[in-house]
Amino acid sequence: MAKILTVYYSRKGENYWNGSLKHIDKGNTERVAEFIQKAVGGDLFEVDTVKPYSESYMTCIDEAKKELREKARPEIKAYPNNFESYDTLFVGYPNWWGTMPMCMFTLLEHFDLSGKTIIPFCTNEGSGMGVSERDLKSICKNATVKGGLSIHGAESEQSEAKVSAWAKVAIK
């Protein structure tokens, strides 16, 4: 049986939500990550940056765009323990500017992912997976990157059945 780790970055606080800004206490991606863990087991690991993004959503997306343009690798607070013992990684993130937040690149480039199975999922307000699957294939050398799941962020709270069914098929 596969040893599963669900790693994710999620934004709490002010978020874009069906065309306006709304404060949320739990990030959309975090919620989906928890649904995955509930469905298939394994461990959860939340990625957190040393330098926090702005509490203002509009400022945060400007910061994210700058990081993307600069190909920044923001420092993260911690890395998962015993990473080499996992063979299946669910990798979750909000879609920022068509791909993962740059802190996810920081995390994934830190490890040798050879032989691992990478299963991406993202939350967004209409942009889908963007180019994140292509980016994952580029940085996860010698890993198997499976097709991802896109969840509309404003519907994340009601997505458990969809997420659970997808996760159970994705690990096969």
- CATH superfamily assigned to domain 4-170: Flavodoxin domain (3.40.50.360)
Does 171 score more than 70 pLDDT? yes
State how far the Cα of 123 lies from the Cα of 28, in Å rounded to an integer: 7
* Percent with pLDDT over 70 in the chain: 99
Structural domain spans, the chain: 4-170
DSSP E strand boundaries for the chain: 4-8, 13-17, 20-24, 43-46, 88-94, 117-124, 144-145, 149-152
Does 170 score more than 90 pLDDT? yes
Residues 6+ apart with CB under 8 A from 169: none
Per residue in 40-60, pLDDT (tens digit) is 999 999 999 999 999 999 999
Amino acid present at 126: G
Per residue in 74-92, pLDDT (tens digit) is 999 999 999 999 999 999 9
Q: Can you give the pTM of this predicted structure?
A: 0.96
For 119, half-sphere exposure in the C-beta direction (CA atoms, 13 angstrom radius) is: 23
Does 1 score more than 90 pLDDT? no
Averaged over 88-110, what is the pLDDT?
97
Does 162 score more than 90 pLDDT? yes
Averaged over 12-41, what is the pLDDT?
95
